[in-house]
Structure 1
Amino acid sequence: MSQPLFGLVPAGQPVIVTPTETPTPNTFLYAIPTTKAAFSHIVIFLLPGIVLPEGSAAAIYLVTPAAPGQAAPNSRFLGGVGTGKESAIFKIGSGGQGQGGQENVVLGISLEPAESVAARMAEMSSATATGAGALVPVSAAADQRLGPSTLVLAQRIIKNAFNFLASFSGTAGQVEVVPLKAFEDWWRKFESKLRTDPGFLERDD
């Protein structure tokens, strides 16, 4: 596979199609300079007309320098692209600065079995959904303490007002009206109840 397979577009930079290095026929490294423009997101896509070998997908990695005592650099799985998902956007970090003082961000793309790539992507999605990948994990108990949505609160305020004002309604010709004083009375009582029982709207009474 001598022809370029992938296009990479770091945010705010031109498209890149030629790998910096090709360690094996199925692995590609892209060293992207950050000296001209730092970036935190990158789009990776299959070039037009490219079809990956059957049963394979492209696994995307962020490659960082080896820690002291390590022989090989570290790689963090970011996701994948392939048949049915020909492009994706990846967050690579804060500001896209080179890792460990490097002036380049290094991305690796590896052709691997599609089932393996899909399984790792599913694991990532599951970890994010449970809060494992969040900056501040949210426990189930904390989630249960979250109040109702803004829409629900608005509906309950309207319901409270309607129930109070309905008994004051009258007609002016063929139009049903409510005296302004009745609305003022409702608002005064509503404010008073909020002060004495701030959580009453959160209860679905």
Structure 2
Amino acid sequence: MFLVVLDSARHFSFLKLRPCFTVGKPHKTLLGERQKTQGRRMFGVVFPNRSFPMDISSFTQIDTFHWVLDMNTFVGESYHQIGDMCIFLLNNFTLPPDKALAVYVQSPGSPFVFCGAVTLQRPSAVLSLIWPEPGGQMQLTAPDSAAPSAKIGVSVEDLVALPSLDVAAEKKIERMALKVGENLFNFMQSFCGVDGSKLVVPMDILDRWFKKFQEKAKRDSDFLKER
């Protein structure tokens, strides 16, 4: 069991994150008396190689739809070393099919950043936690108050309002595409010549690049991954 402390100002910043429904007016489909009881055991999380399974009681519940885990109680200032989190629903009947359980991360002083979500159709996921750079909001903290800490936020949201269920996977594809393009550019640049205002490359440059690219991939399948 973790003790999580969150000041009122931080509550407000999290609640402002995505106003897809009005806090304080429970959705009738989501919150019957039975579902309120189920909400107490709605989800669990595991930090691979870092923790045992943790249930919802490890989080501070802000309201009916929002929970926050203060990373100071978990790893302190080394929060950025936590790169993955597995989140899973504990009961299929807790979440309506048009809702999602969204995960956000916040570095000290930064806004919350969306990392992914789970749904009734996708009841578990291992999400990459992409921590943003600490922001300038840190200096707005009152002198006698505790220093802001990194946090993980979980909220119930409309599924259609979310951009993607796995943001990190999309970003990895984007980064890989950029690395392939950079590899091609560097290869072509080493063979190009100048003809007036034009750069000239051999006609078979793409075939030569692709052959070399394949050979390199066979020797080291991880060469496109970030080191």
**TM-score under structure 1 normalisation?**
0.53
Instruction: State how far apart, in whole Å, the 1-side matches of 2:114 and 2:68 are.
Output: 14
Q: Specify which of 3, 10, 16 is matched with residue 54 of structure 2.
A: 16
- 1:120 maps to 164
Question: Matches of residues 23-172 of structure 1 in structure 2 within 5 Å?
Answer: 23-32=62-71, 33-34=74-75, 39-66=82-109, 74-92=111-129, 105-117=150-162, 119-121=163-165, 125-131=169-175, 137-138=178-179, 140=181, 142-143=183-184, 145-146=209-210, 147-150=212-215
Unaligned 5+ runs, structure 1: 68-73, 154-205
What do the CA deviations read for 1:29-88 (whole angstroms, capped 9, x no partner)? 1224115x9643221111144430231111110122225xxxxxx111111111221111
Instruction: State how far apart, in whole Å, the 2-side matches of 1:83 and 1:148 are.
Output: 41
Q: SS at the partner of 1:142?
A: helix
Q: SS at the partner of 1:29?
A: strand
> Pairwise CA RMSD of aligned residues?
3.9
Instruction: State how far apart, in whole Å, the 2-side matches of 1:139 and 1:60 are.
Output: 30
Structure 1 residues 151, 140: closer, same or farther in 2, change over 3 A?
Answer: closer
Structure 1 residues 34, 129: closer, same or farther in 2, change over 3 A?
Answer: same
Contact 2:46 2:87 in 1 (8 A): yes
Contact 2:109 2:148 in 1 (8 A): no
Q: SS at the partner of 2:164?
A: helix
Q: SS at the partner of 2:112?
A: strand
Q: SS at the partner of 1:130?
A: helix
**TM-score under structure 2 normalisation?**
0.49
Contact 1:60 1:78 in 2 (8 A): yes
Higher mean Cα deviation, 141-150 or 56-65? 141-150
Instruction: State how far apart, in whole Å, the 1-side matches of 2:167 and 2:47 are.
Output: 25
Unaligned 5+ runs, structure 2: 1-35, 139-146, 185-205, 219-227
- Runs of 4+ with >6 A deviation: none
Instruction: State how far apart, in whole Å, the 1-side matches of 2:150 and 2:52 are.
Output: 15
